[in-house]
Structure 1
Amino acid sequence: MDAVEHGETFIVTRDGHQIGELIPLWRRRRFVSRQEFAAMSRNSPAIDLDAFRADQDAAADHGAGGAYED
């Protein structure tokens, strides 16, 4: 378990056949600074805002009536 905790991965076998893998669970950071986010986003594709809105409208059921409608 110490090895897994330090990043090692192990293949679990039974009778010489692989049946599983023991891998570490990496803890993710919850906070990303504005500078890190900007650096990660620098090479992302541009967003077509009209297409994005059309996708959102297509996914939302505007005719279902909300919880506050009569």
Structure 2
Amino acid sequence: MGDTIGQRELRNDSGAIMRRVEQGESFVVTRNGRPVADLVPHARPHDEPRRTLGELQHLFRELPPVDAARWRAERTEADELLGDDDPIT
């Protein structure tokens, strides 16, 4: 993480700090000397490279096969322990 700034500094210099964040800097915000938050640039979905359909299909083909019987058994076990996750029933 980047520089450490106090809550008061963030409040008093928010404009300058936000401009620095826009330029890619990160901060750990503290209150009474204790870290309470990370101030980081927002990751926008369009910043990530888009993959083609062919690339995605290739990635999915490389995944291990799903054992449907094992999945159902694990789901049933979880439902018995935690309850059904269907909010309608």
Instruction: Give the TM-score of the pair, scaled to structure 1.
Output: 0.50
Instruction: Tell me which of the two structures has the higher relative contact order, counting C-alpha pairs closer than 8 angstroms and 6 or more residues apart.
Output: 2
Instruction: Give the TM-score of the pair, scaled to structure 2.
Output: 0.43
Task: Specify which structure has the higher proportion of helix.
Answer: 2
